[in-house]
Structure 1
């Protein structure tokens, strides 16, 4: 069965952040995901989620100085202490809000830097982080991100992410397969889903239309076939991940803009 989570950083922009939990619940979402919720006390966020009757299924670890262009610390030279602090903070927050997954951003490769050296640092950092995740009972996620939306991001392809997860070999490190980013970089998303989802290394998916990153039914993504493939593989393998709706509603932040745009999803799901 397909299970969708509302990304509260992207959807319901007409409402204050903490009110978006109820908005998602009213639209039939059983789960939500958040980008960087750290300005909100974990207890308050958990209370809002519980009140709305939704699960928090994914948050991002602190990414460094986002306003300065940082997109994660894991691969950056000389930032080990800050990276470890970010993971400890992210895991603590995830545990308090009940999120079983924590996305760890890789970072942007500095101009002129060695990519091989950055990958080596990244893997070493992930090895340590996965150990902390195991102790906390939280699965860490790594996500290939396309270079159009995030120029210079270290991790861009599914194959590379899966190879890293395989090499590290931790049950608490998995791949976050964003179908939008996958389409922008690697093309045939149905083929990619059929290749990677049965491996057991994908623990979470996300979806958006291509190339505008609006609702999945706008643009070139063959969303019906993609979701059909996920549903088929889930039935065959027992995959129980969520599909995060991480897109910008085409109607923007107008009242009911997100809800009106969910016509693509209605009829596909039942609340868990």
Structure 2
């Protein structure tokens, strides 16, 4: 069975963020991920991890002006200095939290421009970030995201992501394979796991039901089957990463709603 990490930006929404660590540990999670750590002191987050026996396995680099709709800076011409400063900040948090991975958000292709026009900016920024991250043993992840959820996002397909990883040419740059986004954009999810996981270039998975982004036992994807594919391929290629539970609980902010919706995970544990 894969190792599951609770995404604290989405799970346990009825609780203040810092209380979600305890809730995740109580439900049996041994690792967490979330979007951004930056509004909290790193020592406070590290204390929550230690107190509840949790590993921090992923967070995102700064997205730029999130409230204004920005979703990363890597592809934005003219924002290189700000991007570089955001990587310095992210690496400080990664060190304090013993986090081995940072998702570097690609950003939105600017209005009036094509993806091809900002590709060089993206590649240059990621190469710079990879050099800085390599100094402290951190991997950078590139995530294809569907354009229904985030229109004009720079990176949308698995093949595109792997082409960019090859072009960037850094050993510590990998792909974050979110099966929710993959299904919406491309489908054929099981075969893509079989194709890309053995390459050593998939650093992390994320899951959610499709199309509503609820628990993975609701929707059009057969996750028990996909988990068995991940197990099978991992056993053959030695992959030992995490699967992030990045979904919105169907019961929303109802007290205990996240925990009540974890039957899918408890069932896997009971059968393993």
Shorter-normalised TM-score: what interval? Answer: over 0.9
**SS of alignment partner, residue 180 of structure 1:** helix
**SS of alignment partner, residue 243 of structure 2:** strand
Tell me the distance in 2 between the aligned counterparts of 1:106 and 1:65: 13
Report the counterpart of residue 147 of structure 1 in structure 2. Answer: 147
Report the counterpart of residue 130 of structure 1 in structure 2. Answer: 130
User: Residue 73 of structure 1 contacts residue 105 of structure 1 at CA under 8 Å; is this kept in 2?
Assistant: yes
Alignment of 1:122-271 (within 5 A): 122-269=122-269
**SS of alignment partner, residue 243 of structure 1:** strand
Asked whether 1:8 is paired with 2:26, we answer: no
**SS of alignment partner, residue 192 of structure 1:** helix
Asked whether 1:80 is paired with 2:76, we answer: no
Report the counterpart of residue 45 of structure 1 in structure 2. Answer: 45
Give, in angstroms, the shift of residue 268 of structure 1: 2.3
1:215-236 per-position Cα deviation (integer Å, ceiling 9, x unaligned): 0111101211111100111111
Mean alpha-carbon deviation: is it higher for 190-199 or for 243-252?
190-199
Q: Give TM-score, length-normalised by structure 2.
A: 0.97
Mean alpha-carbon deviation: is it higher for 185-194 or for 74-83?
185-194
**SS of alignment partner, residue 175 of structure 1:** strand
User: Residue 2 of structure 1 contacts residue 269 of structure 1 at CA under 8 Å; is this kept in 2?
Assistant: no
Report the counterpart of residue 115 of structure 1 in structure 2. Answer: 115
1:31-76 per-position Cα deviation (integer Å, ceiling 9, x unaligned): 0001111111000000001100010000100000011111100110
Tell me the distance in 1 between the aligned counterparts of 2:46 and 2:23: 15
**SS of alignment partner, residue 216 of structure 2:** coil
**SS of alignment partner, residue 204 of structure 1:** strand
User: Residue 74 of structure 1 contacts residue 121 of structure 1 at CA under 8 Å; is this kept in 2?
Assistant: yes
Q: Give TM-score, length-normalised by structure 1.
A: 0.97
Tell me the distance in 2 between the aligned counterparts of 1:50 and 1:125: 33
Give, in angstroms, the shift of residue 114 of structure 1: 3.1
Give, in angstroms, the shift of residue 81 of structure 1: 0.5
Tell me the distance in 2 between the aligned counterparts of 1:171 and 1:259: 38
Tell me the distance in 1 between the aligned counterparts of 2:112 and 2:60: 28
Gaps of 5+ in 2: none
User: Residue 3 of structure 1 contacts residue 242 of structure 1 at CA under 8 Å; is this kept in 2?
Assistant: yes
Tell me the distance in 1 between the aligned counterparts of 2:68 and 2:148: 18
**SS of alignment partner, residue 14 of structure 2:** coil
Alignment size in residue pairs? 270
Gaps of 5+ in 1: none
Tell me the distance in 2 between the aligned counterparts of 1:132 and 1:72: 18
1:161-183 per-position Cα deviation (integer Å, ceiling 9, x unaligned): 01111122212111000000000
User: Residue 215 of structure 1 contacts residue 250 of structure 1 at CA under 8 Å; is this kept in 2?
Assistant: yes
